[in-house]
Structures are given as structure tokens and as C-alpha cells.
């Protein structure tokens, strides 16, 4: 007989991991990890299927772009997004592998939440400085190498790759730091979000490679529940973030996005 209550923990775990993967926080931060622990002390068993769900969600979300990029690659004609993904992946691995292999746990969960809050504050400041030189310090350099509006450049790839590599250190927010770096180039928020999404699978694959829990003593149905929850919520969240950035405006969106990290840090301090 199926016990519906058993599916609550993997369902909620998948949802929480997905949301915290795309917002300016991290599933491995102090507040989120404590939240997952309160739901089920064995929540770590659901991290692998949840991260897999998040990864496959990106591949599904960009399935048409990936298919087109693959066709162009076979013709030895790389579009800007494909080149961006390739170079960003290289920089992510070059910086991220030594971190994962040696010092990935040097930053504790509490410190991670504090750093994420600091990133959130900087994002809010950039939102308030939008339209000024200080709001996009790399815009002058980007304007000289970006041939078309919204085109992904080598500088974007370097920023995204290094940002992802750094966030493999503890529970730092990948979404927050990558978005912050891309905003410094003067690119639109919608395009920055898209570029942040595209390169995410490289980060998650590396994290999965060093994450334990590949052989948990749990039924496949429970693991699939965590996977499916993370998959669906990831797709919904990515679409919602893009639409929200357009509906409320870039400045308001960045204030809200950055404030999430600050709020989570304060909740961790209070609770």
C-alpha cells in the first residue's frame, strides 16, 4: 500500500532545491539546509535526484537552442551562444575543479548566506545605479567587442565561468554571482538571465561529480519524486524570472532578486 506521506519529503526537497538554485541563494546555505533538515533529516539523499532534475530542466528549456547549436557545430559554424557556453565551461572547470578537489568546504553555511546577502546588496546597488557608468563598469569594454545587441562575448564567458567556479566553494549562490557579473557588462537583465541559465548545467554536473549519495537506500519512486519536482519547478521558475524582469522592469526586478538573499540571511540569523 502506498503511503502518501512518504512523498512529502522528496516533493518539498525537490521544490526547495530548485527554487534556491535559481534565486540569489543556495541549497547548501545555512537557512535552506536547515529548512530541508527540518523536513527530513535524511534530506541529503534527495540532493542528487533534485540536482539532476534542475540540470535536465535547463536542457529541456533550451532544447531548440541546443539542437540548433549542435547542428551549427557540426557545420563548424558556432553561434555566439555556443561559443559562450564552450568558453564558460572551460573557465568553470579550470577554477572549479581545484576548488572541489581541495577547498570546497572552507566556507561554512552561515558564512555562505552572509556572502550571498552581500552579493544581493551589490545587485540592489547596481539596480539603483542603472543608467550610470558605475551601474555597468565593463560596459565600455563590452561595447567595443559586442557586435550585436545581446550577443554573448568572450568577456561574458570569462565572467560566467569564473563566477561559477568560485561558487563551487561552499554554499555560495551561483545565480546571484553570475547574474551580478553579467550585469556589470551592461547587458539587459533578460539576456543576463538567459546566459546564466544556459551555462548552469556545467556547474551542476561538476557539483554532482563530487556529491555523495549516489546509492541511497531509498525507493526509486521517492527519488523520482524529488527529480520530477525539481525539474518542473525549475522550468516554471526560469520562465517566471524572465517574465517578471519584463513585467516590473529591470530596476525593480533586481531589487527584488537581491533582496531575497538579504531576507534569507536575516531569517537564518533570527531563527
Domain count, the chain: 1
Q: Output the pTM of the full model.
A: 0.90
pLDDT tens readout for residues 94-134: 999 999 888 877 888 899 999 999 999 999 999 988 766 66
Show the domain range for 41.
Answer: 4-270
Instruction: Return the higher-pLDDT residue of 105 and 224.
Output: 224
Looking at residue 33, its pLDDT comes to: 92
- Chain-centroid distance of CA 112 in Å reads 15
pLDDT band with cut points at 50, 70 and 90 for residue 210? confident
- 125-142: b or e for each residue (b if 16 or more CB lie within 10 Å)? ebbeebeeeebbebbeeb
pLDDT tens readout for residues 145-180: 666 676 788 889 999 999 999 999 888 999 999 999
Amino acid at each position: 500500500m502506498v503511503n502518501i506521506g512518504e512523498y512529502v519529503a522528496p516533493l518539498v526537497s525537490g521544490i526547495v532545491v530548485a527554487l534556491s538554485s535559481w534565486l540569489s541563494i543556495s541549497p547548501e546555505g545555512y537557512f535552506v539546509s536547515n529548512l530541508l533538515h527540518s523536513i527530513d533529516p535524511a534530506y541529503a539523499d534527495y540532493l542528487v535526484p533534485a540536482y539532476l532534475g534542475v540540470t535536465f530542466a535547463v536542457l529541456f528549456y533550451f532544447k531548440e537552442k541546443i539542437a540548433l547549436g549542435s547542428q551549427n557545430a557540426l557545420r563548424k559554424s558556432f553561434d555566439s551562444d555556443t561559443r559562450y557556453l564552450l568558453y564558460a565551461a572551460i573557465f568553470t572547470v579550470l577554477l572549479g575543479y581545484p576548488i572541489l578537489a581541495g577547498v570546497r568546504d572552507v566556507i561554512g553555511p552561515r558564512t555562505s548566506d552572509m556572502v550571498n546577502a552581500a552579493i544581493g546588496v551589490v545587485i540592489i546597488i547596481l539596480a539603483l545605479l542603472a543608467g550610470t557608468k558605475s551601474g555597468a563598469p565593463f560596459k565600455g569594454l563590452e561595447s567595443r567587442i559586442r557586435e550585436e545587441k545581446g550577443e554573448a562575448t568572450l568577456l561574458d564567458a570569462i565572467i560566467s565561468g569564473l563566477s561559477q567556479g568560485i561558487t563551487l566553494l561552499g554554499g555560495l549562490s551561483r545565480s546571484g554571482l553570475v547574474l551580478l557579473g553579467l550585469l556589470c557588462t551592461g547587458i539587459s537583465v533578460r539576456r543576463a538571465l538567459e546566459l546564466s541559465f544556459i551555462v548552469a548545467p556545467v556547474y551542476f554536473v561538476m557539483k554532482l561529480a563530487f556529491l555523495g549519495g549516489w546509492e541511497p537506500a531509498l525507493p526509486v519512486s521517492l527519488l523520482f519524486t524529488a527529480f520530477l519536482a525539481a525539474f518542473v519547478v525549475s522550468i516554471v521558475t526560469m520562465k517566471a524570472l524572465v517574465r517578471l524582469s519584463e513585467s516590473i522592469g529591470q530596476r525593480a526586478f533586481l531589487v527584488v532578486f537581491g533582496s531575497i538573499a538579504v531576507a534569507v540571511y536575516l531569517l537564518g540569523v533570527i531563527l
